[in-house]
A and B are shown apart, each in its own frame.
Chain A
Amino acid sequence: MRELYGGQAVNEALTLALDLDERVFLAGEGVGVSIHDNPMGPTYGLLDRFGPRRVRDTPVSEAAIAGLGAGAASLGLLPVVEIMFFPFMTLASDMLVNHAAKFRYLSGGRTAVPLTVRVKAGIGFQAGCHHSHNLEAWFAHAPGLKVVFASNPADLKGLLLTAIFDPDPVVVVEDLTLYRMRGACPEGDSRVPLGKAATVREGSDVTAVTYGSAVHTAMRAAEVLEEDGVSVEVLDLRSLVPLDLDAILSSVARTGRMVVIHDANRFCGFGAEVAAIVAEEAFADLKAPVRRVAAPDTPVPFAPPQEQFYRPGVEDVVATVRRSL
């Protein structure tokens, strides 16, 4: 299959959505003219192609950007708004958590909010904790918001396309370190359904449940463990809300062991929810306690060796899988 960089895959999804439907528009800080101008960038070239009516640079106003999206969506447009870095989502969170997520409910089902919020996440680019802080569990905790988190170019494209045309508000988390990762990516309207996990590696001893960049950490760990004769099944959730319970439970039923891996910190992280569900629904299948591999409960540190230390690595996954055997 054709290969693209992650950023190009996002760009292709946005291009296709803008081409397909006049109701789609983009807004955010630098979605047109960007300080991060780069042909690998997710919105590179879209202003030239679609013009300023549909590709809107905004002031530095995250509440207004999110409100713009929620309000325009509730009148029937299909906004795709961008929040530049995940920690800035706190500034947009009232509009998302209290408004976009709740309008359908509060109106008794009379208002739909088909909003897409793209947010750049990730760790490992030495920007410190005001640019790096994976907050996906916050938004997964807000009823009414869907949350997707891709690990590869095909899913960056396919999940985003589905999100844009989904009738509910969707937070699309893009690990920006994947923008420069090359991988297979289908051409055309390659939508990926929300709520469907992907088994990216089959195995029989342990289920590694993960998403985003951590999928690659898990895959490398699985290769190391294979050399020791340990067979790890790697499940890429792709979508946190809706969550593919069937995929998790059926894999755990086969392996009897689960390790959850994410780049976000541990306490009340998304892994805690996955662990709780498996404890409730699949206790009898478990041969060992569920374990988590996650970042420590500190802000993301700046100094490169500390940032490296913070982010869960291959050795952490290998060690944790071994503990569960």
Chain B
Amino acid sequence: MKAFLQGAWLGHPLHVALVHVPAGLWPAALAFDLLANAGVGGSSLPRAATFAIALGLVVALAAVAPGFADWVDIDHRKPASRLGLAHLSLNTLALLVFAAELRMRLGWPADVRRVPAEAVWLSVLGTILVAVAAKIGSRMVFDYGTSVARLSKDRWRRIAAEGGTRVDGGGDGA
């Protein structure tokens, strides 16, 4: 189960593949609302924003369990472990903010051309939360190497052995 959630069948982490959808769509929803309020696109952009928030929510929920499966493998003494908790907390808040906004938007008629300020502010808040959370997630990968070479370690061990490296000391962690 853990291997499935970590994306062993996929060849790389499932969590990071999924999160592109909410992390891309939620800020895009804010951009669409701002463009709509600037008079662009008629009722199309507020509707696109509603759809973007909705799909973002569905995929974000799907990304929680795989993300948790990645996190449990991180050594708890390492900085990446605490970063993972901050990442989870901020993303949960972002998810709640956009869930509240979606509830509000589902009550609107289809031809809304101007987005009310309270919806825009919710999007601003949610976008800031998801941006900071995504930044923390990227720090885990690109600064601390979380999940990097986890599924390819046997291949790298072979390459290193062929290149004259002692490979008996290859450890766990990260």
Q: Are A and B associated in one complex?
A: no
Q: Which residues of A contact B (CB under 8 A)?
A: none
Q: Which residues of B contact A (CB under 8 A)?
A: none
